[in-house]
A and B are shown apart, each in its own frame.
Chain A
Amino acid sequence: MKTRRDNQTRAVQPVQTDRWRRAARTLAALVLGWICGCAHTQPLVEPARFPDTPKNYRVGIAGLFDVNHFDYAPVMVDEVRRHRVFTGVELTPDLAAPDCDYVIRGHFGFYQVETKNSFHFTSIYFFGLPLLTGLPNTNHDGGIDINFEIYHRGTLLKTYGYRDVFRDQRSYLTVWDSTSLDLELRRMVRLLLRDVWKDFFGHKGAA
């Protein structure tokens, strides 16, 4: 005769199995990501987070400079245009540009160091053949520190700062793109757009 306790146990068992499977899958993904993946401390904001209709604002980009004062503003302009958050985006040298509602300027420092691991150096003694297995032999460590300033008619309104640290394991057979400065800048610009949208237009009743 089945007791009430037996029925309860039978009902709970599949749930527990699913939980273990899910945990195992997560662990496998983590291990796989650690071995041959790429990890960032800042998320890549999904385009779905941005509004469907662009805001009727004109935004100027007054430069995105690195430590040597090279300008990467075209990357930022391209990313802002791609997500259609504002109706107009243009390059402007003027922080008080009369035809822009807001002007954004950024400064950043970026580094990326590439090192070969022991598998790579060991493979040298086997004519490089082990590298054909596709196991990762290169490690990228890097980071970016970026600050954005938002001006309204020449007056500093708000500043945003982000820091992302990343690592990337690659082999000679890795097919996806490695982390680069361009991708990192696009990631940071997405974070800025998300926060600007939340702070400037996220409140109730925002026109």
Chain B
Amino acid sequence: MIFRLAAILMLVLAAGCATNLQKGDKMLAMGRYADARRFYQTELDLQREAAELPRWTGQEYQYQFNARDAAQAILGVGRSFEKQDQPGPALYHYSYFTQFALRHGLDAGREIKAIEQWIRESGRPPPKTESDEVGVQALTESRKPAVRSAPVVAPARKAGKPTAARPPAAPRAASVPADAQKPATATETDGNESDVIFW
């Protein structure tokens, strides 16, 4: 009888001591997705609260949160949405997980491959999360000033230095129409391409 009570007590203690991640995994395996999400979200909130203020160790500030657990919680939320057949929120949380793992330098290659596999199987286009450079590039190109008509002399270039590396400007053909003869670049405008710089 005593052994039975001790075993029950141990089981209760073990169940009570399970982390939110373990509880979430258990709920996910049982198919209770909303409950699983609640446990994952609780874990994520705990980690987020722990990350609010860094702790001074005497040498540097350190954040007191476990990035691995936080990443697993984010991934769990995504998985619960995926199992519940909600691909939109699942994709959002998978993207969040990927960025979070990259930000904290976590080894999440296996999980990211599984996410890629899921995206490929579901036929959804991958999110364009790293398009900052593309966007900025497009904006810069559209804002690029028109061709400068006035040549600018580069001060660093010496006058006597030969410019044989560049091909000489070709003479304009007489048969070219008038519109095409308008200078398209500053190089063609002044004819002396070695003295022209752009900015």
Q: Which residues of B contact A69 (CB under 8 A)?
A: 99-100, 103-104
Q: Which residues of B contact A154 (CB under 8 A)?
A: 128, 131, 134-135
27 A-B residue pairings within 8 Å (CB atoms) = A65-B99, A68-B104, A69-B103, A69-B104, A70-B44, A70-B47, A70-B51, A91-B89, A91-B92, A92-B88, A92-B92, A93-B96, A93-B127, A93-B129, A94-B125, A94-B128, A94-B129, A95-B128, A96-B128, A96-B131, A151-B131, A154-B134, A154-B135, A155-B135, A155-B138, A156-B135, A181-B52
Interface check A63, CB cutoff 8 A: yes
| Distance of A53 from chain B, by nearest CB (Å) | 27
**B131:A93 contact, CB within 8 angstroms:** no
Among B48, B128, B131, contact of A70 (Cβ-Cβ < 8 Å): B48
Within 8 A of A (CB), among B37-90: 44, 47-48, 51-53, 63, 65, 67, 70, 88-89
Residues 103-136 of chain B, each 1 if its beta carbon lies under 8 Å from chain A, else 0: 1100000000000000000000101110110111
Cα distance, A110 to B47, chains bound together (Å): 16
Interface check A189, CB cutoff 8 A: no
Q: Which residues does A use to contact B, with CB under 8 Å?
A: 62-63, 65-66, 68-71, 90-96, 110-112, 149, 151, 154-156, 181
**B129:A68 contact, CB within 8 angstroms:** no
Q: Which residues of A contact B127 (CB under 8 A)?
A: 92-95
Interface check B20, CB cutoff 8 A: no
Residues 183-197 of chain B, each 1 if its beta carbon lies under 8 Å from chain A, else 0: 000000000000000
Q: Considering the complex of A and B, which 10 residue pairs feature the smallest CB-CB distances, nearest first?
A: A93-B95, A93-B127, A156-B135, A94-B127, A69-B103, A96-B128, A155-B135, A68-B51, A93-B92, A70-B48
Interface check B28, CB cutoff 8 A: no
Interface check B139, CB cutoff 8 A: yes
Q: Say whether chain B's binding surface is mostly helix, strand, loop, or mixed.
A: helix
| Distance of B173 from chain A, by nearest CB (Å) | 40
Q: Which residues of B contact A63 (CB under 8 A)?
A: 96, 99
Cα distance, A66 to B94, chains bound together (Å): 18
Within 8 A of A (CB), among B158-186: none
Cα distance, A108 to B53, chains bound together (Å): 14
